[in-house]
Amino acid sequence: MGRPLVFEVLEKPATSCFIGICSAIWFYIQKKNIGYSHVGLSYETAIAGHHWRIITSAFSHISILHLVFNMSALWSLGVVENLGYIGLGVEYYLHYTLVLVVLSGVLVLGMYHILIQKFKLEYFRRVTAVGYSCVVFGWMTILSVKQPTSKLHLFGLLSLPISFAPFESLIFTSIIVPQASFIGHLSGIIVGYAIGWGLIHGMNNYWALSMLGWTVLVSAFSLKRSGAYDFSFLEIESVADSSLPSVRFLASGNGRTLQMSALPASGGELV
């Protein structure tokens, strides 16, 4: 008999939390009948100022099969939390999950930009991607570099050598699920190698909290500016240079404000 699930959860607290968050969001999406266009990331919505979609697209799943595949792989990859003795562990996992979410989303948009502007492939202008696969493929890649003897277990049935898992999974999903985002998965692999090889390094609590804070601020700013959500405590007003808006947080008592200058903002896939 296997170990009780509660012990597995306690050994993988961060992984368990992310699985819970993604599952809860999937349930909410199904209940509210939300689609790709509401939460997904595309080049067209990004240039329209919907930068918050980099975050919402990563944690959203429309298909139950997509959710189950990603969460099954993520559960197996949660072994990273127990590898503190080789420099990984829970803090490393949390720090670089944030990096994977943000940078893989930015890289996807960068690839779309090249395909559209340089190769005139207008199809990619409206391709909309959702899913946690960028992060999953990123952690597959990091683990293949840091712990190449590990194995990736899927659905408790399939076991893949982690050293080949990123590209095996990339090819497998592209063949079995044609609507899967090849670019999204490839972006996760690229960022994963950058982290695994030490090209992206030095994350600690200070930098992680700073990155998280800026991510929240930019997301809130873009939500307000795009009209997707109205934050009553947040106003966008013009400054001396009309091309540079500022952000003001309203305070009822002391009248203090916080301003931030920023440049103006000028079919679904599974990731």
> So which residues are the catalytic ones?
133, 185
Q: What is the dihedral of CA 181, 183, 187, 188, to 10 degrees?
A: 20
Closest listed residue to residue 169, CA positions, set 66, 73, 53? 73
**Which residues lie across from 161 on neighbouring strands?**
151
Task: Name, in order, each residue with C-beta under 8 angstroms of 162's C-beta and a sequence gap of 6 or more.
Answer: 140, 143, 144, 147, 148, 149, 150, 151, 152
Q: Where are the beta strands (DSSP E) in 20-154?
A: 128-130, 151-154
Q: Which 3 state secondary structure label does DSSP give 164?
A: coil
Distance CA 211, CA 95 (A): 9
Distance CA 124, CA 182 (A): 12
Distance CA 1, CA 251 (A): 58
* Residue linked to tokens 């893949």: 160
Q: Residue 142 in contact with residue 196, Cβ under 8 Å?
A: yes
